[in-house]
Structure 1
Amino acid sequence: MLEQAWCRVVEHDSEDIEPPAAQVEEVVTEEPDVLPPAPDLLVQPEPEAVQPQAMTFQNPPRPRRHHLFIALLVFIVVAISGAAGWQYATSQGSRLIATEQETGVYSNIRIYEISEANRLAMNKEDFYSKIKDSLYAINQQLKPQSVQMTVYYQSINQTLNYTFALKSRCDSKQLVMAIYHWRIDPTQLNNLILRETRRKISEMETCS
């Protein structure tokens, strides 16, 4: 507090006293925060029209059916080739034929040579002259028994394929032989043919 010596009262007339100026308060209006519009209120741009495009769908590969088709095609080609080859071999290849030899020489024996159709006449095998004596003896044995005998022979290199068949009213027999190196010893050849033929004749049943 101040001391009285320092205090002084100043009086003014009431008229001289100016009323205090009215204070104008500035009202500051705060602008409200502008919120972004709600998503529903936003104007969505219209989507551009998409031109339809033709889509090509490729079937997945089917390797199994493809392989089956190839196998079937190969089989058909092989079958056709085989048939053509067989036909060619039949028409152009060697054919075997049976040619009767010494017709009418023996009453109960018929002789056939098996040979290729295109064989030259000069290559004919002289087999009959080697066994004619044995055939004569066999024919004499067949007569009283009324047995017919058919002989087939074929010479291939050093091998003689010899087959004979016996037939009577009540029985039949057959024998097939492969005789190697048959040209070396004609006597042994005749003995073999004569022995085996007589053995089969003895096995024939006697017709009553």
Structure 2
Amino acid sequence: MKTKQHIGSLMAATLLTGSMAMAQTTDQYKTAMTGLITRMDTTQSVDGNLQTANAFSRVANAEKDKWLPYYYSALCTVTAAFSEPSIEKIDPLCQQATQLLDEADRISPNNSEVYCVKAMIVLAGIKVNMMQRGMQGIMKAQANLEKAVQLDAENPRAYYLMGQQSYNTPEKFGGSKKEALAFFEKAVELAEKQKDRANTIDVNWGRKPAERQAANCRKLLQLAAK
């Protein structure tokens, strides 16, 4: 009887130790991700974004079953591509972002957030050759954003990016500041519903730029009306 009790105590201790180790690992992951997301939100330079992308990649290599580190690494990489002044460096950055995003897509298929970044990668690549990639790239990005909305109609980032696309596209090619304003306002409205994500590692970027772009649209529309 005592032997059984001893075995039972050992099993309980082993399970408790395992649970504590798992909890500690989870806490370390969240702490690392929280710090990197804060860095991501305050970084503006190409080098800064790439350094943050590399840091997210290191987390991804340690947590291969989690999609968020791959996603954030791809997001930082494509953000760097948008700001990269050297045309010849943009395609390699977009390819790197695609590889990272493919891993996020593998772990979390049919994810609206992933399709938003897919659209961003296409749009970043247009700058390499506007004449050859322009219309086709715009259409491909739009298809990705429509898929993002189909997967999650409450995703503010999808509407923010749709607004950006409409804002930056010349009117003769289908752009519209009025349509862009509606998208930006929708993005802000939906971001308000996700404000509880602010202190988590869940995806929550996009509100502030959507608010700024909505204000820009209002000014331009007021000037056009005069």
TM above 0.5, yes or no, is no
Larger Rg: 1
TM-score (norm 2): 0.27
Structure ranking higher in strand proportion: 1
